[in-house]
Structure 1
């Protein structure tokens, strides 16, 4: 299942045909329903503003490494206000 919002990049005929040809079910949140997926929306906002927009990746490999490092930081080193200043791994694993 490929779940997205209704962004134009996900609703285009070209994109949906690729998913259908590969037998992938398409699931889209309702229009104006950003709150349905608020945690993921907030994560991507953090990724963009704390990593992607600050870097000038020259290659796909650089982007992969940079994002990998960011997610390591985000999950294991960065305290989150919404988690009472705990790190996600602490909450997930009950530490």
Structure 2
């Protein structure tokens, strides 16, 4: 279970219900900026690159959903370069993985823990 640390999620009764159900809460400490950092970063990117930058207004919810799908599935996931993939996009990384000579170690990724504490 993930929460934004609103008061209802820190209440003793709510915490006890999670324990009773065998659910581990996925929260940091109160005021922890890392709790929702990845989700907040994604939403910020979506707003800037999909809505604000081209100054778009969608006529219908279906139009907005189609644009979101095209953005995420057509560019954000497969083609966006990533530091953890040595500056390659996931598509480029996958091609490099399958194009490597037989028997060569798959050592393309070097783990990078940015912001780890």
Fold agreement, TM-score > 0.5: yes
Distance 1:38 1:4, change over 3 A: same
Moved over 4 A (4+): 25-31, 88-92
- Cα displacement string for residues 17-53 of structure 1 (whole angstroms, at most 9, x for unaligned residues): xxxxxxxx99766543231232222112111111132
TM-score normalised per structure 2: 0.47
Residue of structure 2 equivalent to 1:76: 78
Unpaired runs of at least 5, structure 2: 10-22, 98-117
Bigger relative contact order, structure 1 or 2 (CA pairs below 8 A, ≥6 apart): 1
Normalising by structure 1, what TM-score? 0.56
After superposition, the Cα gap between the structure-2 partners of 1:55 and 1:6, relative to the gap in structure 1 and judged at 3 Å, is: farther
Higher helix content, 1 or 2: 1
Counterpart position of 2:89: 87
| Structure 1: gaps spanning 5 or more residues | 12-24
RMSD: 3.5
Residue 51 of structure 1 is matched in structure 2 by 50
